[in-house]
Structure formats: structure tokens, C-alpha cells
Amino acid sequence: MSELSLSIQGISKSYQIARALGAQPYRTLQEEVVALPRKLWKRARGRTDRLDTFWALQDVTFDVNKGEVVGLIGRNGAGKSTLLKILARITDPTHGRAEIYGRVGALLEVGTGFHMELTGRENIFLSGAILGMRKSEIAAKFDEIVSFAEVQQFIDTPTKRYSSGMFTRLAFAVAAYLEPEILFVDEVLAVGDAAFQKKCLGKMEDVAGQGRTVFFVSHNTQAIRQLCTRCVLLEHGRVVADGPTHETLSIYNQHLRDMRVDAETGVNNPENRRGSGAVRFTAVSVEDLAGTERYAFEMGETVRFRLSYRANQPMRGIAVVVALRSGVSRDLVTSVRHVVTTDLVPPGATGTVTVDLPEVYIRPGEYPIYFHLSESVPTKTNYDVLDDLTPPLVIAAGSRRLHDNFDPAQPFGVFSLPSRMTVDEAPAVRQDTIDRPFDDKAEMAQTGITTEN
């Protein structure tokens, strides 16, 4: 009989979206006092604003047995991170209950608890203590952590002087060596180079091999396939599939294919499809050079967009725009615009174009895609806008080296652009500065970028 490790029973989580108070992230005392009579009046009449409630998770129920390695997948906003945050006790569920048997190690973001001003040694103790380790336990594991992270030389250097690769390795090592009975991991493998990813996956396999439980959230279906025996699919906050990894992944892929955009998809939903409709996309797809539809790419691969449209009214030329947004801030990351034709396009005319982004230099992450159709001369009218109607483009670090000082683990900024340096005047080398860890990566990290932890 297998032992229970994690039991999730009907977990739901709602967020109140405060519309009445606008987009303010927090309230002042004065506002609260002013709003109080209205709130009490409403409560007295038994009315609450239903519209303002957003359910991030609804009635999620499943059990995980000891030693299982379970993957959790789903599109952006499906509730994966919320579920993990509840299990990691960072936020409370609105309803439901979960039982956890054994010590939990949660790795929701690499390097939480690290402080840039502190040395590697100080940070190991700090972040170990935050993860719930006793000082003596950390001391006992100290050497292993340092050697896994390969930072022996720089252990007494402030982490702000670390290269991002060193930083990531150290952070992962601390969490991995906590030896939790249950390990929650959220998408940490998107950062770091291929060798590091392999090392982390290996370490997670070890953890699983020792009869401990791993709960792994990722967009990286490849990593899930390699690591997990079982996989849970979340959609709109609900569990829609739960079974052997290959079965769940094929359902997931099927769902992605079902989302195929046509002339009708979401036309009535002004949130992600807008425009006058004088011309409409009839199909959009994202594929690789071999013509296989997919949304996960490695840095350096070519991303191909295939766009079909149909004019419903006469158009003075046609132009397409493909843009990528940031998955976190929703800011525009980049956009390309191509004029298909400047000629008059009669109603009923159809066309298909292919737009390639050769060798994407975008750093690992998730990028919602935005498509736009207009006339060849930019006007104020939107004719068709698809915003977030396809799965997001997921870029992972790969083994490709794009340029000489390429480092996919460099988390700063959006792009990894080729750059060149020439030394015009070499500094005189002094003996006492020689042991500082200035490799070229740290050098890059220094270039005008300060990171606060």
C-alpha cells in the first residue's frame, strides 16, 4: 500500500478585484473609513459584489503518494502558481483543505532570501534558515552545497559580484540540499544554461529516487516528460486531466490545437479580439522550420508565424503586425510589421503570409502573442486584433550559442544581443585584486545594472 504524501481536498481560491476603488493596489486608512458605511449598508442588505470575485482555483482535488513525481501543467493563468503558493503556505485557500505529510521544500523562485550585499556564505545560512533549516544542519551540508554550486573560490565574496550562473547554482543548491520529503519546484529550470538544467534535473531525479515526493510546475513539457510519471492538467482553475504523463500531455496538446484561431474565435469577446472586422484572421499558427506547430522554442531557433486572412470590405492594402508581450508585466517586448500589399483588396479576397523571427535572441520566458491586421498605410482604425488567443510563446534556454559572450542564464533584460568589446587601456593588475571573481559574466552583470534582492 502506498503512503499518502499530499492530499488536496476541494481547494478553491478567489481574489477580490476592487473595481469600486479603481486600480489602486492598496487602500489608505482614509479610503477605508470613507468606504465603511457603504460596505456596512451592503452587508446589512445581504448584497455583495459578485462581479468583483475572480476564482483562480475551483474545487481542486487530488492525492499524491510518497515517492511520486507529479507534474503540473496548464496555460498562463490556469492557476498553477496559485495552487503552488497555497501548498507552500504563502497564501491561504478560500475554501477547501490540504494535508501535507512530511517536511516541505519549496523553490518558487531561484534566489529568494538571497541578499546581494551579503556573501555567499552568509546567504547560504540565511536562505537555509528561511527554508526552515537549523544552523547546525546547514553547517553539516555546507560543503556539499558549495561544491554542487561550484562557487568554492568566491564563497566570501558578496553575491552582487557573482555571475548570474553562479548565483542560480548556489540558490538551487541550498533548496535541493534541504532534503525535504516533499519538494515543490516552480519553473526554475527556465533559467540557467543547459548544463545547469541537466544538473538540476539530475538532482531532482535523485530526490525522487530516494522515495521522496516531487511536485513540479513547468511549461517545459520536455522536462515534465523526462521527470514525471504522472501529470495534472489545470485549466481555468480546475483539474481537467490527471493521469500518466504521456496521456495528460496529449490532452494538453490537443487542447492547444483546439484553440486554433479562425475567423470566429473570440470575435464576440472584446477582451482579446477587437477591431472593425473589415478584415479578419481566418487562421494563425506558430510553427518551427519543419512546419510542426509548436509554442515552445529554444533560444536561437527560428519562430515562424503563418497567418491567413480574409477581407470582408474593400481595404486599401493589407499589413500584419506580430507582437510579443511580457508574460509578467504585459508590456510590449517587440513587434514586427509587414506590408503585404499596397493595392486595393476587394471583399472576399483571402491570403496567407509567413512571418519568420530568425534566431530569436529573446531570453527564456513566456511571451503572449498579439496579432494585428490593418491597411498598408497606418490608420487609427483597428481591423482585427488577436490578443492572447493563442498559447504564449515559450522560450527556453538551449544548447545553442548565439554569439561569443552569450549566456542564457543572464536574467537581466529581455534580449541577449551580440556585443563586442575592445580593451583600449588595460588596467594595471594588482595582486590583492586577483582573487575577485571577475569573469566575463560578472562583468556583464556589472554593466550599469544593479539588482536588488
Partner 1 sequence: MGAVVRVPERRPTVVIKAETGWASLNLRELWTYRDLLFILAGREVKLRYKQTSLGVTWVVLQPLLASLIFAVMFGRFAHLPSDGHPYALFVFSGVIVWNYFSAVLQRAGNSLITDARLITKVYFPRLAIPLASTFSALIDLGVALLVLVILLIVYKVAPTWRILTLPFFIALAGISAAGVSLWLSALNVRYRDFVHAMPFLLQIWMFASPVVYATTLVPERYRFAYGLNPAVAFIEGFRWAILGASSLTLPMVALSTTISLVVFIGGAFFFRRVERGFADNV
User: Between 93 and 165, whose beta carbon lies closer to partner 1?
Assistant: 93
For residue 390, which of 315, 324, 319, 341 has the smallest C-alpha distance?
324
Tell me the window of 3-11, 285-293, 295-303, 305-313 that interacts with partner 1 (CB under 8 A).
Answer: 3-11
Cβ within 8 Å of residue 347, ≥6 positions away: 311, 312, 313, 314
Tell me the window of 112-120, 247-255, 346-354, 408-416 that interacts with partner 1 (CB under 8 A).
Answer: 112-120
What is the rounded distance in angstroms from the CA atom of residue 7 to the CA atom of residue 185? Answer: 17
Tell me the window of 24-32, 208-216, 343-351, 433-441 that interacts with partner 1 (CB under 8 A).
Answer: 24-32
Q: Is 408 in the site for partner 1 (CB under 8 A)?
A: no
User: Between 100 and 409, whose beta carbon lies closer to partner 1?
Assistant: 100
Min separation Cβ 231 and partner 1, Å = 22
What is the rounded distance in angstroms from the CA atom of residue 242 to the CA atom of residue 230? Answer: 7
Contact 184, 104 (CB under 8 A): yes
What is the rounded distance in angstroms from the CA atom of residue 364 to the CA atom of residue 289? Answer: 20
| Residue span 128-167 as binding mask against partner 1, x where in contact by CB under 8 A, dash where not | -xxxxxxx--------------------------------
Cβ within 8 Å of residue 341, ≥6 positions away: 317, 318, 376
Min separation Cβ 100 and partner 1, Å = 4
Among 103, 198, 255, 274, binds partner 1 (CB under 8 A): 103
Cβ within 8 Å of residue 355, ≥6 positions away: 304, 305, 307, 320, 322, 336, 338
Contact 172, 188 (CB under 8 A): yes
Among 67, 96, 317, 398, binds partner 1 (CB under 8 A): 96
Instruction: Please name every residue paired with 393 in a beta bridge, in sequence order, or none if there are none.
Output: 367
Min separation Cβ 121 and partner 1, Å = 12
Contact 427, 89 (CB under 8 A): no
Q: Is 99 in the site for partner 1 (CB under 8 A)?
A: yes
Q: Is 95 in the site for partner 1 (CB under 8 A)?
A: yes
Neighbouring C-beta atoms of residue 87, cutoff 10 Å: 19
Q: Is 369 in the site for partner 1 (CB under 8 A)?
A: no
Tell me the window of 105-113, 234-242, 291-299, 305-313 that interacts with partner 1 (CB under 8 A).
Answer: 105-113
Among 4, 35, 240, 323, binds partner 1 (CB under 8 A): 4
For residue 60, which of 235, 245, 273 has the smallest C-alpha distance?
235
Q: Is 57 in the site for partner 1 (CB under 8 A)?
A: no
- Total of chain residues touching partner 1, rule CB under 8 A: 50
Our separate counts of H helices and E strands in the chain read 9, 20
Q: Is 102 in the site for partner 1 (CB under 8 A)?
A: yes
What is the rounded distance in angstroms from the CA atom of residue 284 to the CA atom of residue 321? Answer: 12
Min separation Cβ 26 and partner 1, Å = 6
Tell me the window of 46-54, 90-98, 236-244, 285-293 that interacts with partner 1 (CB under 8 A).
Answer: 90-98
User: Between 124 and 394, whose beta carbon lies closer to partner 1?
Assistant: 124
Q: Is 327 in the site for partner 1 (CB under 8 A)?
A: no
Q: Is 35 in the site for partner 1 (CB under 8 A)?
A: no
Q: Is 429 in the site for partner 1 (CB under 8 A)?
A: no
Q: Is 122 in the site for partner 1 (CB under 8 A)?
A: yes
What is the rounded distance in angstroms from the CA atom of residue 316 to the CA atom of residue 314? Answer: 7
Grid cell 510542426 — which residue? Answer: 292
Min separation Cβ 16 and partner 1, Å = 9
User: Between 102 and 398, whose beta carbon lies closer to partner 1?
Assistant: 102
What is the rounded distance in angstroms from the CA atom of residue 49 to the CA atom of residue 70? Answer: 37
User: Between 103 and 203, whose beta carbon lies closer to partner 1?
Assistant: 103
User: Between 6 and 360, whose beta carbon lies closer to partner 1?
Assistant: 6
Among 69, 72, 104, 166, binds partner 1 (CB under 8 A): 104
What is the rounded distance in angstroms from the CA atom of residue 96 to the CA atom of residue 10? Answer: 5
Min separation Cβ 79 and partner 1, Å = 15
For residue 130, which of 155, 151, 108 has the smallest C-alpha distance?
108
**In whole angstroms, what separates CA 209 from the centre of its chain?**
27
User: Between 26 and 380, whose beta carbon lies closer to partner 1?
Assistant: 26
For residue 190, which of 314, 107, 302 has the smallest C-alpha distance?
107
Binding site for partner 1 (CB under 8 A): 1, 3-4, 7, 15, 26-30, 32, 85-104, 106, 108-109, 112-113, 115, 117-118, 122, 125-126, 129-135, 453
